[in-house]
Amino acid sequence: MDTVKGKVTQYGFEWGGARVECLCSDDKKGWVVIGLETDKYPHHGIQIYVTKTGKVRIHSGSTEWLPVKKKKRG
């Protein structure tokens, strides 16, 4: 990660006011959970779950962020 302008940590990096880390993963099943924290959004911050097929689920505390559904054109 030579291109990251910030501090590289054991499990991720810090860039500006953001801290990004791999929280857990399963190499056999291929999924990963990435955490994003800031000073104004501490503790559990935002958790981003990515499956091996690329599906993404985003959680903030007890709330899951859902993608915006596109409206069908008439």
The pLDDT score that the predictor gives to residue 63 is: 85
Q: Which amino acid is at 41?
A: Y
Q: Can you tell me the distance from the alpha carbon of 16 to that of 66, in angstroms, rounded to the nearest whole number?
A: 27
Average pLDDT over residues 32-36: 94
Q: Can you tell me the distance from the alpha carbon of 12 to that of 3, in angstroms, rounded to the nearest whole number?
A: 13
Average pLDDT over residues 67-73: 79
The pLDDT score that the predictor gives to residue 1 is: 47
Of 43, 46, 37, the closest CA to residue 17 belongs to: 37
The residue ranges of every structural domain in the chain are 7-64
Per-residue model confidence as pLDDT tens digits over 53-69: 999 999 987 788 887 88
**Hunting for tokens 């929280």 — which residue is that?**
23
The pLDDT score that the predictor gives to residue 44 is: 65
Higher pLDDT, 41 or 57: 57
